[in-house]
Amino acid sequence: MRTTPAALAVVLLLATGCSGDGSEPDDSDGGRPAGGSPTAAPQPADPAAAAADLDAARSTPVEDSVYPDAGDPGVDALHYDLELAWSPTRRRLDGTATITLRATTDAPRLQLDLGPSLKPRSVTLDGADVPFSHPGKDLVVDAPVTGDQQYELVVTYRGEPAPVPAPTRRADFSVTGMTVTDAGELWTMQEPFGAYTWYPVNDQPADKALYDFTITTDAPFTGVANGELVESVTDKGRTTTRWHLDTPASSYLTTMAVGDYQHSADTTSSGLTIDYWYPRGLPEALPLLRKAPHAVDWVEERLGPYPFSTLGLVVTDAVSAMETQTMVTLGTGDYVLSEPVIMHEIAHQWYGDIVSPSDWRDVWLNEGMTMYLQAGYEADLAGVPVAEELADYAGACRASLPGDGPPGAYNAAGFGASNIYYCPALMWDELRKRVGEDEFWAVARSWLDDNAGTSAGREQLYDHWERATGLELSSFFDSWIMGRTMPEPTAG
Ligand SMILES: [Zn+2]
C-alpha cells in the first residue's frame, strides 16, 4: 500500500540522486509500447493449458476478520474477463464481466460485490438467464450451486463509477475505488476493498484470480490495466486496449486507468522491460519514473528475481500511490511521484503481490518488509547508515501504538496507520541482527519462493521462519505484532 503521510514527509527531505539504467526512453511510438503491434490472443488456445492456468487460480476464500462485509467465502473466482467501455464525455462505464468461478460449497445462491452506482442489467449462469438482486453493494445471484463445481457467470452492467468510504483516518485518502476526474480520466486505488466500484468481484484478498481486460474509450485517451498489453487499436476515434495478467491477483491489486497517456520504457540490468504511462501534459514525470530500473535492481539483490513477467508504472491524478500488481499506480503529488515511493511500490511486487495477505489483519506482512526495504534504500540514497532511518521509525511506531492498536490487531476504522508500517519494519531489523544478514535475506526470499502466487497468513510466516532458522520465534513475533508497547530495539 501507499506509504504513510509520515513516511512521505521523510521522503521530501531526501535527495533523489540515482539514475535509471541510462538508456534512452523509447517514446517514438505515440503512446504504444515499443514494438507493440497487435499480437496473439491472450488466452491459451489449448483447453488443457487453459484448465491448468485456472488451477493456478484456485484459492481458499475466507470471511475477512477485519472487513467481513467484503467478499464471500462461498465463491472462488478463477478468472475475470472484463470488457469495459468508458465514455469520458457521458461519464459512463459499460461493462461485461465474464467470471469463471468455483463454488466452494453447496448453496442456494451466489454473492459478489458490486458498487451501488453500477446497475446490473443482465446475469447469466452457464448461459442461462438467472434472477438477481442488488441490495447496496451486494450482487445476489439466485441460482443454486454445487460445491467444487465450476461455473461461468456473465454480468452486464453500467453506470458512473463512484468511490466508497474507506475505513481509514489517513490524510491522503478518505474514499476507495474508482475515481473519475473533471476531465473524464479514470483511475482506481482500492485497499482494503473497492474493486467492486468498477466490476462485480469477490473483493477479499484470499481469493486470487487471473484477469483479462478489454478497455475501449475515446481517443486520444487510452486504457491501462494490469499485465501485458497484448493489443492496442484505434479505429473511428475509439481506442481499444487488451491486457492479460498471467499470474493470479487479489482484487485490491487490480487497476484500471484511462487518460491521454504518453508511453515510454526502460530495461533493467536483468533484462526486464518497465513500461511508463504518464499524462501527455506531464513530461516532467518521466525522469522520476526512470528511477524504477535502479529500484528493481536494488530489490532483486535482496529478494531475488522480479516475480512477474511484466512491470509498468502509470501516473494518475491521485494523491497517493498503490502497488497494483505488475502496474504500479502513482499519483502526481511531489512526495508521491518520488524515487522512494516508486521503490516502495515496486518492492510490494515481492511482498504483497506475489504473496498477499489472506486476511486484512495481516496487512503488516506487506508493509513491514516494504518499509524495511525502503529504509535501506533511502539510507543508500542519502549515504547514511540504515540505523539513522530506523531511529525515526521507532518514534513513529511508539507514537502510533496507543491510538492505532497493535499492528496485528489494529483498529478496523483506522486502516493503514503508522503501526502496520514502522513497527514490523523494526521487527525485521531485529530479526536480521539475530540471524545475520545472509540468512535473513535468504529466508525472506525463500518465503516468497515457497508461497508464490498465493495468499498467506501470519501463522504460515512464523512457521516458515522457525523451520528455516531452527529458532523458536513465536514470542518474538508476538511481541512486535500483538504488543501494545514497542519492544526495545537491541544494539548492533
Ligand atoms: Zn506499502
Å from CA of 1 to ligand 1 middle: 3
Q: What amino acid is encoded at 103 in this protein?
A: A
User: Which residues are within 8 A (CB) of 355 and not within 5 positions of it... i.e. 6 or more apart?
Assistant: 365, 447, 448, 451, 452, 453, 454, 455, 456
Å from CA of 65 to ligand 1 middle: 21
Å from CA of 491 to ligand 1 middle: 27
CA distance 194 to 363: 16
What pLDDT does residue 487 have?
Answer: 97
Q: What amino acid is encoded at 96 in this protein?
A: T
Å from CA of 366 to ligand 1 middle: 7
Å from CA of 330 to ligand 1 middle: 12
Å from CA of 401 to ligand 1 middle: 18
Å from CA of 414 to ligand 1 middle: 15
- Give the strand pairing for 311-315 and 273-279: parallel
Taking alpha carbons only, the member of 492, 460, 465 closest to residue 476 is 465
Per-domain boundaries in the chain:
5-11+355-481, 27-347
Adjacency order of strands within the sheet including 256-259? 164-165, 175-180, 186-189, 256-259, 222-225
Å from CA of 40 to ligand 1 middle: 34
At residue 291, what are phi and psi to the nearest 5 degrees?
-75, -15
What pLDDT does residue 1 have?
Answer: 60
CA distance 221 to 256: 13
Q: Which CATH number fits domain 27-347: 1.10.1270.20, 2.60.40.1730, 1.20.120.160, 2.60.40.10?
A: 2.60.40.1730
Is the separation of the CB atoms in 348 and 322 below 8 Å?
Answer: no
Å from CA of 348 to ligand 1 middle: 7
Taking alpha carbons only, the member of 254, 258, 233 closest to residue 244 is 254
Å from CA of 396 to ligand 1 middle: 15
Å from CA of 236 to ligand 1 middle: 41
What pLDDT does residue 6 have?
Answer: 47
Å from CA of 230 to ligand 1 middle: 28
Å from CA of 215 to ligand 1 middle: 27
Å from CA of 262 to ligand 1 middle: 26
Taking alpha carbons only, the member of 179, 172, 213 closest to residue 194 is 179
Å from CA of 80 to ligand 1 middle: 25
What pLDDT does residue 334 have?
Answer: 78
CA distance 433 to 60: 35
Look at the block and give the residue holding cell 500483538.
482
Please state, in angstroms and as integers, the Cα–Cα distance from residue 4 to each residue in 44, 66, 131, 149, 483, following that order. 40, 20, 44, 42, 21
Å from CA of 173 to ligand 1 middle: 14
What pLDDT does residue 333 have?
Answer: 78
Å from CA of 125 to ligand 1 middle: 37
Taking alpha carbons only, the member of 154, 133, 31, 32 closest to residue 83 is 154
Å from CA of 119 to ligand 1 middle: 33
What does pLDDT average to in each consecutive run of 10 residues of the chain (492 residues)?
A: 48 29 36 36 59 90 98 98 98 98 98 98 98 98 98 98 95 93 97 98 98 98 98 98 98 98 98 98 96 98 98 96 98 88 98 98 98 98 95 96 97 96 98 98 98 98 98 97 96 77
Is the separation of the CB atoms in 231 and 39 below 8 Å?
Answer: yes
State whether CATH 1.10.390.10 applies to domain 5-11+355-481.
yes
Å from CA of 203 to ligand 1 middle: 19
pTM above 0.95, yes or no: no
Taking alpha carbons only, the member of 264, 268, 263, 300 closest to residue 21 is 268
